[in-house]
Chains A and B, each alone.
Chain A
């Protein structure tokens, strides 16, 4: 089942008299359950493309369809709701809410979805245990290591039961061990719960673990490899 489909997506920035094609006609289909990395050098358009797929930015041209919804048809508030209910985000610098504990950070997304207390409590427990932080539920982000914070960020991304998770350079700030742990955990979630992961990265460790690797250069796909 195709969950993400982009057609001739372009993002053009106008800088004085020069047009910069950050993304230049990307056609892509991502199936449910993929574990895919978008790679490429800095400035290749990975993050811009991911932002557009995540509904955070709008394409200058082209179409992005997520689970049969053309996100260009959504109004600003509808798009926020769409992101909340369909997309999980994991950022390079974790971006947890610093005043909330790990548990509350995960719960926060479900509060935005108006889920019941009971459901929230159960899912928080389940997710924190899944990312191996059941015993750190009451710690604030400042009391957790970078790797642990990123695990909480993954738990938060999954809390809303999204259709897929977009992870923008999720391992950029992590050491090798934390990176391996995080990738193990995400691979397990992908395998066991069929959660779709789409990474933007230039971390070879992530690339090695991805089952599909799409390479962008100058805003265009130059290769799309699926590992056997």
Chain B
């Protein structure tokens, strides 16, 4: 009967119910939309930035991260080569042999990071072939290099020109070689776009005198939220006294800080949104409580205990909240899904601002279920807090005073 009474009561004044549920609906919709956009942007930023080069995590010889050196290479053992057997297709393990070299062409020289890659596996992370702006992608057996656009421009190199690299190889051997430029790639990150050169892993091992050696295994994940689980599992497979596993948060901590800062700013905006909408909801609840004081007085007069009346009033607020929350989620899903599939694309000057931070100039929306649940819970809590007011009024109602108006 209480449920029936509460349900019928909320439809007594349809306009008031629509206003209250509508306020809640918009609160949920805007909060979900905002958080979805924020988290979508973070996910994309992380995906972009780790996809530029570092991957979500890297495996090195212990101590390599703090002091990277060609001398801290590791043997690319069968265990390391077969790591993916333990993870299916959720992780790709990408071997690299990377060190610094001096690149020369004509009279120009520049210090570069010269990286030996497995051209096929590298595609899952850096997608170098999609970044090609000239020439072709390398194959595993090539003896040629791919340069980043900024480096090629600096050295005034074109495809099919020959570049010379000089470096120090494994345990001090001299490393020198000349390679034709097979392709030129463009990185969104201006920093990386100035200083990277890639060639096949086999050729790199020969160049650095590090046969069957690699410096890094980079992890590319299908779903970055599984990172902690994957690292934990990896720690059970490889010898952690010999190898280290470094995640992207350690490799590029400034990104994490930026995300945390932005998220906190977002929370402040959300708080303001909650406050504005909260007062809107409170206004309608206040109106409802004032309008019904007489009725509450009558019910207590004829023998209804205040707590029972409070339950009914609370159920009414709860029902309006649930209606608003469900409505908010239902209209949020198609909207966020649309922008998840069709991210907002920036054009003109805004693109440069995005590129400056090394991210794609798009804003995708996240479909992470925790956003919907989290915001629904927040708005629900807010509504429940607001319902304290009518409960307070009911619990203190004096029948005669209420009936007198």
Q: Which of A97-105, A177-185, A211-219 contacts B (4 or more CB under 8 A)?
A: A97-105
Contacts of B403 in A (CB 8 A): 91
Contact, CB under 8 Å: B400 / A83: no
Q: Report B293-307 CB contacts with A as 1/0, cut-off 8 Å.
A: 001001111111110
Number of B residues, CB within 8 Å of A: 20
Partner pick for A80 among B8, B11, B12, B305, CB 8 A cutoff: B305
A181 to chain B, nearest CB (A): 23
Partner pick for B5 among A95, A100, A160, CB 8 A cutoff: A100
Tell me, yes or no, whether B222 is within 8 Å of chain A by CB: no
Q: Report B361-405 CB contacts with A as 1/0, cut-off 8 Å.
A: 000000000000000000000000000000000000001100100
Contacts of A85 in B (CB 8 A): 303
Tell me, yes or no, whether A172 is within 8 Å of chain B by CB: no
Q: A97-B5, A98-B12, A100-B8 are in contact. Are A109 and B302 (CB under 8 A)?
A: yes
Number of A residues, CB within 8 Å of B: 26
Task: Select from chain A the residue with minimum beta-carbon distance to B402.
Answer: A56
* Contact residues of A between 74 and 93, Cβ < 8 Å to B: 77, 80-81, 83-85, 89, 91
CA distance A83 to B1 in the complex (A): 21
Contact, CB under 8 Å: A80 / B400: no
Tell me, yes or no, whether A112 is within 8 Å of chain B by CB: yes
Task: Select from chain B the residue with minimum beta-carbon distance to A140.
Answer: B8
Contact, CB under 8 Å: A57 / B400: yes
Contact, CB under 8 Å: A109 / B303: yes
Contacts of B295 in A (CB 8 A): 95, 97
Contact, CB under 8 Å: B400 / A95: no
Contacts of A84 in B (CB 8 A): 302-304
Contacts of A99 in B (CB 8 A): 5, 8-9, 11-12
Tell me, yes or no, whether B156 is within 8 Å of chain A by CB: no
Task: Select from chain A the residue with minimum beta-carbon distance to B1.
Answer: A111
Task: Select from chain A the residue with minimum beta-carbon distance to B6.
Answer: A99
Tell me, yes or no, whether B356 is within 8 Å of chain A by CB: no
Q: A56-B399, A56-B400 are in contact. Are A83 and B5 (CB under 8 A)?
A: no
Q: A98-B12, A111-B1 are in contact. Are A160 and B303 (CB under 8 A)?
A: yes
Q: A56-B399, A111-B1, A112-B308 are in contact. Are A83 and B302 (CB under 8 A)?
A: yes
Tell me, yes or no, whether A170 is within 8 Å of chain B by CB: no
Contacts of A111 in B (CB 8 A): 1
Which 4 A-B pairs give the minimum distances between C-beta atoms? A84-B303, A99-B8, A95-B298, A57-B400
Report A's interface with B, CB cutoff 8 A.
Answer: 51, 54, 56-57, 77, 80-81, 83-85, 89, 91, 95, 97-100, 104, 107-109, 111-113, 156, 160
Report B's interface with A, CB cutoff 8 A.
Answer: 1, 5, 8-9, 11-12, 295, 298-306, 308, 399-400, 403
7 contacts between A and B (CB under 8 A): A77-B306, A81-B305, A83-B301, A83-B303, A85-B303, A89-B301, A109-B303
